[in-house]
Amino acid sequence: MSERVVVTLTLNGGRRTFEVAPGRRLLDLIREDAGLTGTKEGCAAGECGACVVLLDGAPVTSCLVLAASADGHDVVTVEGLQQSGSLHPFQEALVAQGGVQCGFCTPGLAVTGAAALAYGPGTADERARLLAGNLCRCTGYVKVLEALESASGEKADRAST
Amino acid sequence: MDVPIQQVIRPATIAEATALLATRPDARPIAGGTDLMVQLRDGRKHISCLVDLDGLGMAEIRRVDEGVEIGASTRMHSIAAASEIRSNFPALAAAAGTIGAWPIQCRATLGGNLVNASPAADTAPALLIAGAVLTAVSTAGTRPLPVAGFFVGPGRTVLMPGELLVSVFLPLAQVPPGCRLVERFVKAGPRREQVIAVVSLAGRAVVRADGTFEEVRLALGSVAPTPVRARRAEAALMGRRPNQETRRGAVQALQHDIAPIDDVRAPASYRRIAAAVLLDRFLLEAARV
């Protein structure tokens, strides 16, 4: 039996400590140990983006991060995107634009999209590239990208007023 | 599901890390983990003890005398976005920006891309044309390793057991007065995003005012057991102007620089054609810019 690892991290704003196996993935810590099942497991190889969370503000595929490596770091999952009880502006836009169909990719898309908005509005091509690591087999991406565009437009509007 | 390891150690200093690697033959470093975690999960690698490099820093991009030094743990996204890299080593910035997608680039490290030693490693051709020198540290001391001799075969490098790659130095390009520098990284694959290269090519050309080449450096990925310089193609271009005849000669010479194989991503015959197309496009661009 391998030794256990103590992982203390900030999870959606709260400081949490977990004792996990050395080979625990951040994804499993989030879903099984913390019980936050919004983050999904798709390919488990870093290709589909269903498990994307923010690690120190940067989007990462949590299936490829050791839970031990997240010790001392800040993690935000889809559950942590809402601010004071309301959805993140990109989540609002996904709903408004019809950017959600089966929904499996949506949490990962929401997290990457939120990070993309924080990173900067950019051009349509730049926005599409930032979301390229989140595979969606339903929407064809058009409405997802429209949602990101409208959310980034609103962000730019707010910044200019 | 957990990856099958027994232990993970998080050293606080490079000295601690190298001491661990020297005394624990079962220990291997992990940085971004974007390749290693998949290999562990699939049982393609068996490692009982991982040494997590995350706490060591090693993620700085620093301007130093006559070049730029990049810490081995620097993330691809940082490299792709850094103005120091974009302006001085555009092929490396472009290569880093095509590895996986954004969430991978926020995690994957330069050192990991090199040590993983895939023939398709995207940063390798860019480092080859830059004449990069890697620095490896062990309890025995520090060793400079020119990237030109670093790769030995698929998944194999000259790093010795216990050695840790800590940084990569890129010398600034020497551009004589009156010459201009053209540097590009291009990659062929089945789609634009999230592609493991079927063929990749990094090119650097120093072009004289009359359009002839003062210097040309070419390196390719996915066309040989390691990323390779295309010395014969370079020789066919030196001192010449990239007109149709010169380009045809270079493309023919290139076929002797590469030794592609058939694999799941493409047949060798396609790689030969794609390599020729990428080179021709680079030369056309060098002629135009």
Please list every residue in chain B whose beta carbon sits closer than 8 Å to the beta carbon of residue A52: 103
Per the domain annotation, does B2 fall within a domain? no
pTM of the model: 0.95
Average pLDDT score over chain A: 94
Q: Do B103 and A61 touch (CB under 8 A)?
A: yes
pLDDT top residue among B288 and B224:
B224
Residues of chain B contacting A133 with CB distance shorter than 8 Å: 100-104, 193-194
Query: Token match 């996904």: residue?
Result: A94
Whether B130 maps to a domain, the answer reads yes
What pLDDT is recorded for position A83?
A: 84
Quote the tokens at residue B32.
């971004």
Q: Is the same domain home to B78 and B99?
A: yes
Residues of B in contact with A71 (CB under 8 A): 10
The number of folded domains in chain B is: 3
Q: State how far the alpha carbon of B276 is from the alpha carbons of B203, B219, B230, B272, in Å.
A: 13, 12, 12, 6
The residue of chain B nearest to residue A130, with distances taken between CA atoms, is B102
Q: Which chain A residues are within 8 Å of B40, Cβ to Cβ?
A: 23
Which of chain B's residues have a Cβ under 8 Å away from the Cβ of A44? 1, 41
Is the domain of B184 the same as that of B161?
no
- Mutation target for A interface from B37, B45, B113: give the one with most A CBs within 10 A: B37
Task: List B228's β-bridge partners, or say none.
Answer: B220
A43 close to B (CB below 8 A): no
B236 and B210 within one domain? yes
Cβ pair A46:B41 closer than 8 A: no
Is residue B116 a part of any domain in this protein?
Answer: yes
Q: Determine contact, residues B181/B175, Cβ cutoff 8 Å.
A: yes
Is A138 near chain B, with CB under 8 Å? no
Task: Tell whether A66 lies on the interface with B, counting CB pairs under 8 A.
Answer: yes
Contact A30, A53 (CB under 8 A): yes
Residue B85 in this model has a pLDDT that exceeds 90: yes
Q: Is A50's pLDDT higher than 70?
A: yes
A6 close contact with B: CB closer than 8 A: no
Tell if the CB–CB gap between B194 and A133 is shorter than 8 Å. yes
Q: Looking at this protein, which amino acid is placed at residue B286?
A: A
Percent of chain B with pLDDT over 90: 94
> In the predicted model, is pLDDT for residue A159 greater than 80?
no
State pLDDT tens for residues B143-165.
999 999 999 999 999 999 999 99
Given A21, A59, A129, which is nearest B106 (Cβ)?
A: A59
Distance from CA of A130 to the nearest CA of B (A): 6
In a shared domain, residues B207 and B243: yes
CATH class of A89-160: mainly alpha
Query: What's the longest Cα–Cα distance across chain B?
Result: 63
Rounded distance between C-alpha atoms, residue B220 and residue B95, angstroms: 12
Assigned domain for B1 exists: no
Domain membership of residue B230 (yes or no) is yes
What's chain B's average pLDDT? Answer: 96
In a shared domain, residues B65 and B135: yes
- CATH 3.10.20.30 residue window(s) in chain A: 5-80
Closest residue in chain A to residue B51, using alpha carbons only: A69
Residues B92 and B32 in one domain: no
Q: Which domain holds residue B231?
A: 180-288
* A1 pLDDT above the threshold of 70: no
A112 shares contact with chain B (CB less than 8 Å): yes
The answer to whether residue B141 scores a pLDDT higher than 60 is: yes
Segments of chain A assigned to CATH 1.10.150.120? 89-160
pLDDT at residue A161 is higher than 60:
no
The string of pLDDT tens digits covering residues A8-33 is: 999 999 999 999 999 999 999 999 99
B45 & B65 share domain? no
Residue of B nearest to A72 (CA): B55
Residue ending a domain, among B115, B149, B171, is: B171
Q: Rounded to the nearest 5°, which phi and psi values hold at A123?
A: -90, 170
Interchain CB distance below 8 Å, B3 and A66: yes
The span from the CA of B26 to the CA of B153, in Å, is 22
The residue in chain B having the minimum alpha-carbon distance to the alpha carbon of residue A133 is B101
CA-CA distances (angstroms) from residue A107 to A10, A38, A51, A120, B35?
A: 19, 6, 8, 20, 24
CATH number at residue B131: 3.30.465.10
- The yes-or-no verdict on residue B260 having pLDDT over 80 is yes
User: Among A28, A66, A119, which would you mutate to test the B interface (most chain B Cβ atoms within 10 Å of its Cβ)?
Assistant: A66
Q: Which two tokens stand for residue A48?
A: 């589909």
- Pick from A44, A55, A66: CB nearest B52: A66
Beta strands in B189-260 (DSSP E): 199-207, 213-221, 228-229
- Contact check, Cβ <8 Å, B5/A22: yes
Q: What is the pLDDT of residue A158?
A: 63
- What is the topology classification, in CATH, of domain A5-80? Ubiquitin-like (UB roll) (3.10.20)
Chain-chain contact of A63 with B37 (C-beta, under 8 angstroms): yes
B193 plus B163 within the same structural domain: no
B145 and B192 together in one domain: no
From A46, A68, A131, residue closest to B34, measured CB to CB: A46
**Alpha carbon distance A82, A107 (integer Å):** 12
Amino acid type, A3: E
Question: Does residue B35 sit in helix, strand or coil?
Answer: coil
Nearest Cβ partner for A22 among B8, B37, B102: B8
Burial class of residue B23 in the structure, from the number of CB atoms within 10 Å of its CB (0-12 exposed, 13-18 middle, 19+ buried)? exposed
CATH at B244? 3.30.390.50
Nearest chain B CA: its distance from A1 CA (Å): 8
Q: Which among B168, B158, B154 is positioned nearest to B118, based on CA atoms?
A: B154
- Pairing status of strand B49-52 against strand B7-9: parallel
Cα-Cα-Cα-Cα dihedral sign, residues B205, B210, B212, B213:
negative
* Domain-terminating residue out of B171, B200, B224: B171
* Residues of chain A contacting B101 with CB distance shorter than 8 Å: 49, 129, 132-134
B97 in the same domain as B78: yes
Identify whether residues B139 and B94 lie together within a single domain. Answer: yes
Residues B208 and B230 in one domain: yes
